[in-house]
Amino acid sequence: MNVPVWVWIATVGGLLLLIAADLMIVDRKPHRVTAGEAARWVIFYVSCAVLFGIGVWVLAGHDPGVEFFTGYITEYSLSIDNLFIFMVIMASFRVPAIHQHRVLLIGILLALVMRAAFIAVGAVLIAKFVWIFFLFGAFLVWTAINMVRSKDEDEEYSENAVTRWVRRFFPVTPDYVGHKMIVKQDGKRYLTPMFVVIVAIGSADLLFAVDSIPAIFGITQDAYLVFTANAFALMGLRQLYFLLGGLVAKLVYLSYGLAIILGFIGAKLVLHALHEYDVTPSWLVINNWMSLGVIAVVLTVTTVASLIKSKRDPNAVSALNLQAEAPAKADREPSHDG
């Protein structure tokens, strides 16, 4: 699509207004987000994404519309798999339940800014170099294989380089100080664990973008659609965190389903590149409707199979639930061991 600058400005402005409204309404008074409240916000954000997609469909045509919905579903699905890591981070930092929404809001906002930079670079590379599709495709297939291989390994959180750098160069208070990120004590400024955990959430999501950005470029090469699909998926992710809770741990086959999706998109990228080099016939190209159908079927099958498995074999999710439920128990403000 040929998107004018004013449309980009209006879109970013609208997204910022949504985030500001979320911050003022939900986080005006720190509190523990209930399942009912989270459900209403999830419905709201999904409705916003659907209305936006319909607008793209009507104004730009059915192909961009299908690309947006396929990209949005893919990004949202990949984000769900990352919710467990967020839960582990929250438990590791012992974030009080009343402040978890603010942590996710600011952390994901930072991640959205960093993803925008990734998308801009990716769009430029794809526009100039066809061989990038081979690179993206091979990376997605490799990621899919590793996702299956590491499925049975224990999920443990260890602070990444960015978080360790913050701790190394800035003093951090041992305790949370409300929702403050910077405090002044004895005439000296300190960061609080609230600041560090926000950095941890934002940098963790940036690592997730390494596979999700190439994946959505396999669905559409339009930077506007890539950005908006990512934005709507990330904005709805926070409330999904509170809504799903321990249910994420019951989706025991989700990683396999996402691995199939990533492998499928990787193959699609390679076929697209081969077609660009006139190596493969025109009929050997995966169209948008086929992509949407495959992704929808795989997610449906893996979700249903996961719930059946978790119901028949509770031991399959007991270890995960133990960690996933930990953040929900943080109703007061204990100190952070780090």
pLDDT score of 314: 65
The DSSP letter of residue 182 is E
User: What secondary structure does DSSP assign to 260-294, as a single string?
Assistant: HHHHHHHHHHHHHHHHHTT-S-TTS---HHHHHHH
Tell me the pLDDT band of 327, cut-offs 50, 70 and 90. Answer: very low
Name the percent of the chain lying above pLDDT 70: 86
Tell me the pLDDT band of 319, cut-offs 50, 70 and 90. Answer: very low
Tokens read off for 109: 């906002």
Write the CB contacts of 249 (distance below 8 Å, at least 6 apart in sequence).
84, 317, 320, 321, 323, 324
Look at the block and give the residue holding tokens 């390994």.
153
pLDDT score of 150: 65
Tell me the pLDDT band of 51, cut-offs 50, 70 and 90. Answer: very high
Greater confidence (250 vs 106) lies with: 106
User: What secondary structure does DSSP assign to 305-332, as a single string?
Assistant: HHHHHHHH-THHHHHHHHHHTTGGG--S
Distance CA 75, CA 166 (A): 29
Burial class from Cβ neighbours inside 10 Å (0-12, 13-18, 19+) for residue 316 reads: middle
Q: Is residue 69 predicted with pLDDT exceeding 90?
A: yes
pLDDT score of 331: 44
Is the pTM higher than 0.85? The answer reads no
- Asked if 157 and 326 count as a contact pair (C-beta separation under 8 A), the reply is no
pLDDT score of 330: 42
- Average of per-residue pLDDT values in the chain: 79
Q: Which helix (H) or strand (E) holds 142?
A: helix 132-149
| pLDDT tens readout for residues 175-230 | 888 878 888 887 888 888 888 888 888 777 777 777 778 888 888 889 999 999 98
Tell me the pLDDT band of 245, cut-offs 50, 70 and 90. Answer: low
Greater confidence (257 vs 254) lies with: 257
Cα 322–327–333 angle (5° rounding)? Answer: 135
Tell me the pLDDT band of 155, cut-offs 50, 70 and 90. Answer: low
Tell me the pLDDT band of 26, cut-offs 50, 70 and 90. Answer: low
Q: Is residue 324 predicted with pLDDT exceeding 50?
A: no
Tell me the pLDDT band of 58, cut-offs 50, 70 and 90. Answer: very high
Angle between helices 193-217 and 161-169 (to 10 degrees): 150
Distance CA 210, CA 143 (A): 10
| pLDDT tens readout for residues 104-124 | 888 778 878 888 888 888 888
Angle between helices 100-128 and 223-244 (to 10 degrees): 160
Cα end-to-end distance, the chain, whole Å: 48
